[in-house]
């Protein structure tokens, strides 16, 4: 990909003129290193690309490094902040809420922090949702629980009414935790704020269990999802191995990308076939999935298939499509489709099979985060606070080249990251499964 043309400048409400309260720690062990806006993280670190740019005397594209600034824009004693979680549930939501509140309260001395209930609905008066006052005691133990302390909802709401609410509450910093739809809404909220001439910082924290947010190398909840998906693969394998001609069919999350399916497969290499949205496959024919599963049963008497929810949607092209409240196309159930197709195929051949179908999606989404995600959420939440206090806006906190960075929200909103069929991850799948292309010659 050509990164040099990417616009990475971050919007700001103004220059920071207030000395950061974390500048003079009470103990030397708490010394804080501050980050300059000139500290950057290169987007493309491949040597060939860098060498080519140096020869052309071009400046490599880079992201602004996240972290605390020595001067801040907002006066903590007067600032009011709001937090909202939107879209589907995801492991780590409570960890994000906890780290944001604790950093605001203990790091900067902000005492007015409010939680907006049930996603964007919480801003709209007609729904009548209460606002929660968030204090350290409110969030201390919530990382032990799944879901979100604030609840969530799907679907768009009137942007004007949302900004009206922010004005009424005198909010100076809004933290929006959500996926692609939330980021799109956040950019519209920023536009409305600018149009009204308001000074409100909007900071996004990208949330998707699928790990498919564009220009973000890792999103919280993904590590936890892979953990549980790995256990589900183990269960599918045990079920398949326990019966003659046993087949374990496991459907995992992944509307637009197959990162969970692919990564969990490599973590628990008991899978024989992996189907993801980025790679087409045939069902029928000598090299199609059904015949390949039959060959696997002839050879080893059992098989395990992992399918991402967005795979194989071409088999539903003649069926009516609907959209959910967020405007996303409602995917047809590829898991149940494959279950029926496999059963029918072997029944027609008079071959007895023992097919076990597993769909752990909602179990995975609602569980607490694992240890790695707890650590990750801590850094994300606190860096979101540092960005807001410095007056950054229209920005999300992302992870790139092993660093936390400021990414302009419009760079990621409305786009998806995908598994590269020519990349190392998918090549690893082909090596681990030996499944081949699952395509008939054209």
Tokens of 93: 């939501």
Tokens of 265: 């497969």
SS3 of the chain: the string is: CCCCCCCCCCEECCCCCEECCCCCCCCHHHCCCCCCCCCEEECCCCHHHHHHHHHCCCCCCEEEECCCCCEECCCCCCCEEEEEECCCCCCCHHHHHHHHHHHHHHHCCCCEEEEECCHHHHHCHHHCCCEEECCHHHHCCHHHCCCCCCCCCCCCCCHHHHHHHHHHHCCCEEEEEECHHHHHHHHHHHHHHHHCCCCCEEEEEEECCCCCECCCCCCECHHHHHHHHHHHHHHHHHHHHCCCCEEEEEEECCCCCCHHHHHHHHHCCCCCEEECCCCCCCCCCCCCHHHHHHHHHHHHCEEEEEEECCCCHHHHCCCCCCECCCCCECCCCHHHHHHHHHHHHHHHCCCCCEEEEECCHHHHHHCCCCHHHHHHHHHHHHHHHHHHHCCEECEEEEEECCEEEEEEHHHHCCCECCCCCCCHHHHHHHHHHCCCCCCCCC
47 to each of 156, 395, 420, 424, how far by Cα in Å?
43, 28, 20, 18
Told to judge if 210 belongs to the known catalytic residues of this protein, a careful annotator would answer yes
| Active-site hit among 210, 223, 270, 383 | 210
Q: Which sequence positions are flagged as catalytic?
A: 210
């Amino acid at each position: 990909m050509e990164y040099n043309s990417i616009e990475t400048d971050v919007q700001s409400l103004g220059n920071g003129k207030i000395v950061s309260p974390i500048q003079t720690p009470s103990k030397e062990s708490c010394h804080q290193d501050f980050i300059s806006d000139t500290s950057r993280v290169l987007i493309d670190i491949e040597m060939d690309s860098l060498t080519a740019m140096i020869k052309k005397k071009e400046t490599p594209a880079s992201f602004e490094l996240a972290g605390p600034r020595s001067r801040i824009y907002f006066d903590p004693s007067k600032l009011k902040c709001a937090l909202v979680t939107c879209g589907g549930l995801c492991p780590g939501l409570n960890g994000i809420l906890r780290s944001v509140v604790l950093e605001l309260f203990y790091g900067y001395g902000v005492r007015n922090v409010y939680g907006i209930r049930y996603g964007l609905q919480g801003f709209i008066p007609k729904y009548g949702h209460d606002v929660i006052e968030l204090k350290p005691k409110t969030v201390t133990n919530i990382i032990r629980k799944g879901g979100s302390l604030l609840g969530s909802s799907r679907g768009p709401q009137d942007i004007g009414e949302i900004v009206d609410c922010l004005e009424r509450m005198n909010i100076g910093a809004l933290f929006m935790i959500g996926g692609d739809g939330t980021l799109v809404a956040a950019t519209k909220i920023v536009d409305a704020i600018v149009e009204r001439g308001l000074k409100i910082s909007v900071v996004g924290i990208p949330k998707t269990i699928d790990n498919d947010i564009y220009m973000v190398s890792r999103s919280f909840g993904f590590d936890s999802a892979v953990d549980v998906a790995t256990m589900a693969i183990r269960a599918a394998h045990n079920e398949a191995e326990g019966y003659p001609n046993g087949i374990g069919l496991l459907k995992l999350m992944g509307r637009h990308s197959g990162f969970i399916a692919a990564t969990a497969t490599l973590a628990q290499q008991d899978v024989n076939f992996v189907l993801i949205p980025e790679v087409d496959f045939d069902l029928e024919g000598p090299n199609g999935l059904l015949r390949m599963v039959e060959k696997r049963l002839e050879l080893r008497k059992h098989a395990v298939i992992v399918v991402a929810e967005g795979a194989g949607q071409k088999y539903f092209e003649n069926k009516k499509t609907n959209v959910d409240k967020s405007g996303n196309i409602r995917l047809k159930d590829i898991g149940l489709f494959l279950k029926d197709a496999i059963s029918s195929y072997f029944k027609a051949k008079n071959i007895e099979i023992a097919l076990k179908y597993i769909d752990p999606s909602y179990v995975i989404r609602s569980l607490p985060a694992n240890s790695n995600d707890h650590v990750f959420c801590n850094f994300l939440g606190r860096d979101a606070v540092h960005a807001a206090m410095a007056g950054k806006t229209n920005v999300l906190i992302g992870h790139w080249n092993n660093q936390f960075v400021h990414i302009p929200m419009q760079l990621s909103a409305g786009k998806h990251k995908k598994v590269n069929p020519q990349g190392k991850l998918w090549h690893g799948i082909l090596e681990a499964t030996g499944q081949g292309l699952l395509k008939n010659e054209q």
